[in-house]
Amino acid sequence: MEFTAEMIAGLLNGEVVGDKNAKVHTVSSIEAGKEGALTYLTNPKYEKFIYTTGASIVLVSKDFKPTAEIGATLIKVDDVGACIVQLLTAYDAARPQKKGISRMCSISEQASMGENCYVGDYAVIEAGAKIGDNVKIYPQCYIGDGVTIGDGTKIYPGVKIYEGCHVGRNCIIHAGAVIGADGFGFAPNAQGGFDKIPQLGNVIIEDDVEIGANTCIDRAKTDSTIIRRGVKLDNLIQIGHNVQIGENTVSSAQTGIAGTSKVGRNCFLAGQVGIADHVTVGDRVKVGSKSGIDKNVPDDEIRLGYPAMPGMSFHRSWSVFKVLPDLSRKVSELEKQLNELKNR
């Protein structure tokens, strides 16, 4: 698909500076731009590339003023970042969409399928499953007994959704994710081993949630593990049994949340955050990479480090920690001087 600068400017309510008939068919970074690509300038430190990029069209803010000649056509807009999202969304919607039910999938006669669904090769949909309209289930997915999937949701290849789980509308679950595997529940026995505790609950994923590749969300021991509306989870995340994650919370890769913990709304968890069991994290909390949360965190706090501490306390501690070798040497010298004084 090709788009002209004039078409793009019309969509974005922008102003064309240069050739209004310049055409693009792809999007690239500004430093790697080639002919036929649209790129953008959002960070001033990349401005040097706008004068050398091979891209055909560059989105810039309306207050951008070049300091040298630019070969590309410019489109000036109010908010470059928002316009890029708008363009990518429009481009994605215009791509060919998967359609139809493969003859090589298995759908139980007791399952119910909505209209205009796609089901790929070797997907399995078990009895009692309820699939909404416009759902896309890619090859080799497993949809267990009694699972419900809301309208417009995409389930990418190799996803496994165990029995009784619920996925809302307009969700995206990426390849290899497992929803509803047993929670990690075992009780010590008299023989020194462990007895498995049956995990009888389910997982509820509300609307507009995105779950990254190979992320695992365990079913509850009783009741439900709950992922609220608008949550975005990166790849390789582990969510334990009976965890609740509040609306519009975001987590980067390799975060682990232990059983029965609660994370509030609009939180941000950076990569490799660990949250211990039975911990409550308030609303709008920000947690830095590799931090370990072992105690409750109030609303609107920042936590850094392991074990995690308030942001300012962490920075003060770090300012001391990084000079500990010098401090240790100075203390040794002072001890030596003190001993000399005592000996006199």
The pLDDT profile of the chain, 344 residues, written as one tens digit per residue, is 788 999 999 999 999 999 999 999 988 999 998 999 999 999 989 999 999 999 999 999 999 999 999 999 999 999 999 999 998 888 888 788 899 999 999 999 999 999 999 999 999 999 999 999 999 999 999 999 999 999 999 999 999 999 999 999 999 999 999 999 999 999 999 999 999 999 999 999 999 999 999 999 999 999 999 999 999 999 999 999 999 999 999 999 999 999 999 999 999 999 999 999 999 999 999 999 999 999 999 999 999 988 776 777 777 776 777 778 888 888 888 888 888 888 87
Return the residue matching tokens 């036929």: 36
Does the annotation count 315 as an active-site position?
no
Given the residues 25, 174, 241, 315, select the one marked as catalytic.
241
Rounded-to-integer distance, Cα 227 and Cα 224, Å: 10
- Across all residues in the chain, what is the average pLDDT? 94
Q: In the prediction, which pLDDT does 323 show?
A: 76
Please give the backbone phi and psi of residue 238, each rounded to the nearest 5 degrees, phi first.
-115, 120
Rounded-to-integer distance, Cα 217 and Cα 228, Å: 13
pLDDT in tens, 105-135: 999 999 999 999 999 999 999 999 999 999 9
Q: In the prediction, which pLDDT does 314 show?
A: 74
Q: Confirm or reject CATH 2.160.10.10 for domain 100-314, answering yes or no.
A: yes
Q: Which CATH architecture has domain 3-94?
A: 3-Layer(aba) Sandwich (3.40)
pLDDT in tens, 92-111: 887 888 999 999 999 999 99
- CA nearest to 230, candidates 252, 247, 251: 247
Q: In the prediction, which pLDDT does 89 show?
A: 86
Please give the backbone phi and psi of residue 251, each rounded to the nearest 5 degrees, phi first.
-135, 135
Q: What is the dihedral angle through the alpha carbons of 168, 179, 162, 132, rounded to the nearest 10 degrees?
A: 20
